[in-house]
Structure 1
Amino acid sequence: MDTTSLLIRKAQLGQTLLHTYPLPALADGAVRVHIDRFALTSNNITYAAFGEAMQYWQFFPVQGVPDVEQWGQIPVWGFATVLQSRHPEVPVGERVYGYFPMASAVDLTPGKVHAQGWADVAPHRAPLHAVYNQYTRCATDPFYTADTEDLQALLRPLFITSWLIDDFLDDNAWFGAGDIGTPCILLSSASSKTAYGTAFQLAQRAGIEVVGLTSERNVAFCQSLGVYHRVLTYAQLDQVAPGTPSIYVDFAGNAAFRKALHTHCTALVYSSSIGGTHVAELGSGKDLPGPRPTLFFAPAQIKKRSSEWGGAELNRRLAQSWQAFVARVQQAPAPWLQVQHHTGPAAVQAAYVALLAGDSNPRTGHMLSL
């Protein structure tokens, strides 16, 4: 059968190519899945922006196009159904949640299968971080409900990152900011889903101030969420007192603004680099005043907490927090998220280009199917 995928030129993220090619005969022990639906968020733009540094391009290698090394497939989170199986423990028709390419179908290689799911053990994925190689069986997934598939694809991986950021900062005692005064946690790209998921968790803690930084057009949206103590535009950074003990959680990756914040916030105790939603303004974190920006890698905190608490307890805490978050996201009369569906190659391509350009409404969640 053929598969269609959306390819991205690695060095020029705005250049795309719709590529249809035949899948080879299914290998022994492999499964072929149809990718039913997947989410597209600013998190996926971050995957592309950090594709080389964080090895995101390596999960789903491109095949069959000229200059193949110049092109990549952005990983996405979504749901798929097993179309063919040459693995005795993975039946045709089973539905799974996990990490896929922006494509209509893909072949995966399950390793040891257990009640909850399995990992893809294809040789090219062996060096990559294990958390991205896991596929969860919907039938046994404590997070899964059929009526919230869109929210799971859109928010679940982002919220887990959000939860881990909050946990990481608390785990490190706010890097001593509380010893100086009331810690101020500054979040850039405050309208992004990972940022407001982080703010949702932080807002439940006493003794800290959560400040959202965003563009002027997104101020009202961020204020409506009710999780930021203050919402400022990037131009209003001077409204943060320079001597406030602060932590910068950077979802935007804007190098010029990062330098401005590091210069202005003279009591900055920690600078965490999370994402790159401002693709055109990405740059180095070298030669900055204050602490050197440190890349946050969620799987490292998962590994630490799994070791300390055990996997079952970590999952219990995550699931409990997820249910509270989803309840708030859907709360009437003002839900935080409105899902928009895009079907077909041209629609998927257009949705990606619009998101990359920053033209997407922050209240809109994009679900795509090729």
Structure 2
Amino acid sequence: MLTTELLVQKNNLATTRVRKRPNAPLQPGQVRARVDRFALTANNITYAAFGSAMHYWDFYPVQDLTDAGAEWGIVPVWGFGTVVESACAEVPVGERLYGFWPMASHAVLAPAHVTHGGWSDGAAHRSPLPAIYNQYLRTSADPFYTEGTEDLQALLRPLFATSWLIDDFMADNGFFGASTLLLSSASSKTAYATAFCLAQRPGIEVIGLTSPGNMAFCEQLGCYSRVLAYDALPTLDGTTPTVYIDFAGNAGLRKSVHGHFTQLRYSCSVGGAHVGALGHAKDLPGPRATLFFAPAQGQKRAAEWGQAVFGQRLLDGWNGFLEAVQRQAWVRVAQANGPAAAQAAYAQMLAGHTDPGVGTMVSLSSA
């Protein structure tokens, strides 16, 4: 049996290669899972763009491939897998899992802290990494799991968790004294999920910034109070107390926002959807651009509320969002099967040449 991997050059994200390598025998306590299918979204481009700074390359390191001047990595993704080989008595072959996978056909994991609901990967190299990314949930016991919606779960569930925590972080901080929240890359799934949550907050205006071609899509979502093209930014009242939530990572746009709003109360950096325009956030007028790290807010709330209450509130939010997505048909699912299709889908996502109404599911397990 071979494992097929989609590798990305760390210092040139547009360069990819497919590698097939033989599977090594499992060590005691390990399992091998087939990665049945995974979601490919702008969130994964953010993982790649911030791969070194935020250690996303560290989840599935590429240690046995060296090229002169090139360093290769595997972008982690969310999706579903099935255990096909087990040297762990507590995890049987055939068990279906939701979790954080490599862009690959298979993954070797080391189950630890096994419970009825799931387990964590106990591999030594993952111990310093955020625990939320190391969890693998048994679909048979996962309260978030519903049969028949696996694609939407893979595409939207991890993004929604981030969005829900952004909304909670803003409320937790009194929206930093602002009543207007400005979101870039408004057509991205993480942005409009955030807007969906914020729209339920009384007295909060949610303005979406997007490209002209995506304005109609953003407007029909019904999550935004207003949707503007990027070049219409100067038409907004710069004296209004405002929070900027940046999903684009566009350095020029960030500079324009900071320069326009004299009452910018907080600048929240979330994503890097505009990879070609990424840049530093130094020497900007107004507040310092601060990276939002969802696990930190999640850990804070779990400690304050208790894990059970935290989990239930997140579940309630997810159920409301999923119902809206299905009722209004916000996402059409496209399938990319095999290495060539996976490479093409990644290249399109990296270049930003994707339909915001389409969600791409990828499978390398049949390769």
TM-score computed with the length of structure 2 as normaliser: 0.98
The answer to whether the aligner puts 1:366 opposite 2:360 as a matched pair is yes
* Equivalent residue, structure 2, for 1:123: 124
2:129 aligned partner, one-letter code: L
* Equivalent residue, structure 2, for 1:317: 313
Deviation at residue 297 of structure 1 after TM alignment: 0.2
Task: Return the alpha-carbon distance in structure 2 between the equivalents of residues 78 and 23 of structure 1.
Answer: 21
Structure 1: gaps spanning 5 or more residues? 178-182
Deviation at residue 63 of structure 1 after TM alignment: 4.0
2:349 aligned partner, one-letter code: L
1:64 aligned partner, one-letter code: D
Q: Does the Cα contact within 8 Å between 1:21 and 1:64 map onto a contact in 2?
A: no
Task: Return the alpha-carbon distance in structure 2 between the equivalents of residues 306 and 56 of structure 1.
Answer: 23
Deviation at residue 65 of structure 1 after TM alignment: 2.4
* Equivalent residue, structure 1, for 2:92: 91
Task: Return the alpha-carbon distance in structure 1 between the equivalents of residues 261 and 22 of structure 2.
Answer: 54
The answer to whether the aligner puts 1:207 opposite 2:203 as a matched pair is yes
The answer to whether the aligner puts 1:281 opposite 2:277 as a matched pair is yes
- Name the SS for the 1:146 alignment partner: coil
Deviation at residue 130 of structure 1 after TM alignment: 0.7
1:299 to 295, 301, 307: 295
Deviations along 1:13-59, whole A, 9 cap, x unmatched? 00000011012110110000000000000000000000000000000
* Equivalent residue, structure 2, for 1:113: 114
Ranges of 4+ aligned residues in structure 1 off by more than 6 Å = none
Deviation at residue 158 of structure 1 after TM alignment: 0.1
The answer to whether the aligner puts 1:13 opposite 2:13 as a matched pair is yes
* Equivalent residue, structure 1, for 2:136: 135
Where in structure 2 are the equivalents of 1:40-119 lying within 5 Å?
Answer: 40-67=40-67, 70-119=71-120
Deviation at residue 62 of structure 1 after TM alignment: 1.2
**Paired positions, count:** 363
* Equivalent residue, structure 1, for 2:32: 32
Task: Return the alpha-carbon distance in structure 2 between the equivalents of residues 108 and 23 of structure 1.
Answer: 13
Where in structure 2 are the equivalents of 1:264-275 lying within 5 Å?
Answer: 264-275=260-271
Task: Return the alpha-carbon distance in structure 2 between the equivalents of residues 125 and 93 of structure 1.
Answer: 24
TM-score computed with the length of structure 1 as normaliser: 0.97
CA RMSD of aligned residues (A): 0.9
Deviation at residue 360 of structure 1 after TM alignment: 0.6
Task: Return the alpha-carbon distance in structure 2 between the equivalents of residues 66 and 173 of structure 1.
Answer: 49
Structure 2: gaps spanning 5 or more residues? none
- Name the SS for the 2:112 alignment partner: coil
* Equivalent residue, structure 1, for 2:339: 345
- Name the SS for the 1:139 alignment partner: coil
1:213 aligned partner, one-letter code: L
2:114 aligned partner, one-letter code: V
Task: Return the alpha-carbon distance in structure 2 between the equivalents of residues 239 and 146 of structure 1.
Answer: 46
2:34 aligned partner, one-letter code: H
Task: Return the alpha-carbon distance in structure 2 between the equivalents of residues 239 and 200 of structure 1.
Answer: 24
* Equivalent residue, structure 1, for 2:156: 155
Task: Return the alpha-carbon distance in structure 1 between the equivalents of residues 44 and 319 of structure 2.
Answer: 23
The answer to whether the aligner puts 1:217 opposite 2:213 as a matched pair is yes
* Equivalent residue, structure 2, for 1:180: none
Deviation at residue 176 of structure 1 after TM alignment: 2.1
Identical amino acids, percent of aligned pairs: 59
Task: Return the alpha-carbon distance in structure 2 between the equivalents of residues 170 and 42 of structure 1.
Answer: 25
Task: Return the alpha-carbon distance in structure 2 between the equivalents of residues 291 and 23 of structure 1.
Answer: 50
Deviations along 1:144-174, whole A, 9 cap, x unmatched? 0120100000000000000000000000011
- Name the SS for the 2:111 alignment partner: coil
Task: Return the alpha-carbon distance in structure 1 between the equivalents of residues 89 and 25 of structure 2.
Answer: 17
1:354 to 342, 348, 359: 348
Deviation at residue 208 of structure 1 after TM alignment: 1.1
